[in-house]
Amino acid sequence: MPAANTTVTADYAAIPTYALTVVNGSNSGSYAAGTVVAITANAALPGLVFSSWSGAAVASASSPTTTLTMPAANATVTANYSAPLSGPYTVTYSGMGSAAGVGPSDPNRYVTGQAVLVPGNTGYLFNPGHSFVGWNTVADGSGASYGPGATLAMGNSNVTLYAQWNTQDWPVSVWAAPAKPLSSRPIAPSGPGA
C-alpha cells in the first residue's frame, strides 16, 4: 500500500468466441474455445444414409449425433451421405473343365464395393493337357478375368468365378543322341585266337 489513498479497478474483456459452421447439421454458432458442442446430422434424403463427418475433428466421425470441442479458431464440420451398401453377397469358384480337385471355398459375405482378394488354384483343379490361368465371370471366358491375387470389387449380386485354362496342349519334345556312323564303331576281332 502506498502512502496515499489508492483506487484499483478491475477490467473485463469479452471472452473470444469463434464461429462453428455445421454443414448438413444442427448447432452452428459462436462458441468459446474449449466449449463442447453437440451436433446432429440432418435426416438423409431418400436413397441415402449418413456416412461420416468431415472437416473439424469430432468425437465420433461415424455417428450422426456426436460432439465437437471448439478450437481457438473458426471451424467447419460437414455431415456426409452416401448410397446404402447392399448385400451381403457371396463369391463361388467353379472348377469348370477340371477332371480333379475342387474350387476354392470362400465363406465370407461381402457388401457392394467391398474388395475381394481372388485366390489361385488352391483346390488343385486339374484339366489334363492344360494349365490353370485364372478365373472369369463368364464360363466361356468372355467376362471379366481375374488372375491369382487380383482384387474384385463386389457388385450388387452373388458372383461365380469360373476356372480358365490355356487353350493348347503342352508340346512334348523327345531328344536323342545322334547315331554313330558304322565306320566309327570298333570291329570285333574274328577268327582263331580271337
Residue ranges of domains in the chain:
17-82, 86-172
Q: How many C-beta atoms lie closer than 10 Å to residue 132's C-beta?
A: 20
Q: Which of 49, 50, 32 is nearest to 40 (CA)?
A: 50
Q: Would you place residue 11 in the very low, low, confident or very high pLDDT band (cuts 50, 70, 90)?
A: confident
pTM of the predicted structure, to 2 decimals:
0.47
The sign of the CA dihedral 177, 179, 184, 190 is positive
**Gyration radius (Cα) of the chain, Å:** 38
Domain 86-172: assigned CATH number: 2.60.40
- pLDDT tens digits, one per residue of 99-148: 999 999 999 999 888 899 999 999 999 999 899 999 999 999 999 999 99
Q: Which of 91, 80, 99 is nearest to 151 (CA)?
A: 91
